[in-house]
Amino acid sequence: MGSLFLFSFASAAQPFTADISALSERRISHQEQYEKFPAPPFLTVYQKGNKKLVLLAARHGAESLPSVQYAFDVYAPQVALVEREPGEAFGGPCTEAEDSYTAALCGKQQIPLVRADLSQEKQWQFAKENGFSYEDWQMLWIIRDGYGRARETDQPFTPAEAIALYAKRDHHAAWGELFTEKRLNAYFKKYYKQNFAETDFIRLYQDLMNIYPEKWVAKTPFYRLNNAAGLARSRFMLQNIAAALNQYDVVFAEMGAGHYMDLVLALEKMLGDPQVIDGRRLPPQNLWKDCHGVPFQEITLIKE
């Protein structure tokens, strides 16, 4: 899978630009935006002149696959953008995760794929510049791991397992010191008021990711870091969308619904009001079950 830097070009029409100032404030300040749309997954289809953006506001997981299939079948995109960091593994097998299913369809249809998310390094730089510690950063990923683990097994997620998993996949010694079990337990007790090994991570994660969070949630490092970094990531996604529309006539993009809500006002300013399609009300889709291992071409539209 090669990588190619593409320069966007200005056509006879005014080129699309990413108006960062039009981004919505993250979640709390724009709760009314959520009331305009169905629960995710849903598709929003924007049309301006001969340019079309088909955007999936995803619920991460298999539930969003029919919306991806529908978008490819009905709109035949010429390029696809996914919420995935450069060099990172996709969210799961192509039969379970919308980013890897999109990648497989790109290979099948022979269209390029763009990872439209900031790299882990850029996200950490942003966190550090905004006053978050490496402990805050580690716990962000450890809680996510705890949630993923709890969806697969009812066995406790111990501090030792959490640290080992983070160390194997995400730790960078230059960024800071890895948690010890003692420090992890103390940190978790301080901010989340419970014992790590006894935590219901599904309930905790759902509380932390709630659109309308309780007051204690909004004060946690996880919530503050996830939302601050999320807005920075959304800015980068918007820049990629603008670049893609300058290069292609039909663009597909998938991202979590929270990122889409960040972009609602900017996208309306850029493209006008969208057609909204409730992904839960789509007719049954003929999903591609033999999608594993399909090669696809990756390109880069925007340098970090």
Residue 87, pLDDT > 90, answer: no
Residue 67 confidence (pLDDT) above 60 = yes
Q: Is it the case that residue 9 has pLDDT exceeding 90?
A: no
Query: Among 115, 104, 202, which residue's Cα sits nearest to residue 152?
Result: 202
Higher pLDDT, 6 or 117: 117
Per DSSP bridges, beta strands 298-299 and 113-115 are parallel
Classify residue 62 by its DSSP letter.
G
Report the 10 Å Cβ neighbour count for 97. Answer: 22
How far apart CA 37 and CA 127 sit, in angstroms, is 30
Determine phi and psi for 103, rounding to 5 degrees: -60, -40
- Check if the beta carbon of residue 208 is closer than 8 Å to that of residue 223: yes
Three-state helix/strand/coil letters over 222-265: HHHHHHHHHHHHHHHHHHHHHHHHHHCCEEEEEEEHHHHHHHHH
User: Which 3 state secondary structure label does DSSP give 10?
Assistant: coil
- The owner of tokens 């789509």 is 282
What pLDDT is recorded for position 92?
A: 81
What are 8's two structure tokens?
């966007």
Higher per-residue pLDDT: 61 or 183: 183
How confident is the prediction for the chain on average, in pLDDT? 90
C-beta neighbour count of 206 within 10 angstroms: 11
Q: How long a stretch of residues is the chain?
A: 304
Contact 74, 66 (CB under 8 A): no
pTM to 2 decimal places: 0.86
Which of 175, 1, 178 is CA-nearest to residue 87? Answer: 1
* pLDDT one-digit tens code per residue, 207-216: 998 767 789 9
Note the pLDDT tens digit of each residue in 90-133. 878 999 999 999 999 999 999 999 999 999 999 999 999 999 99
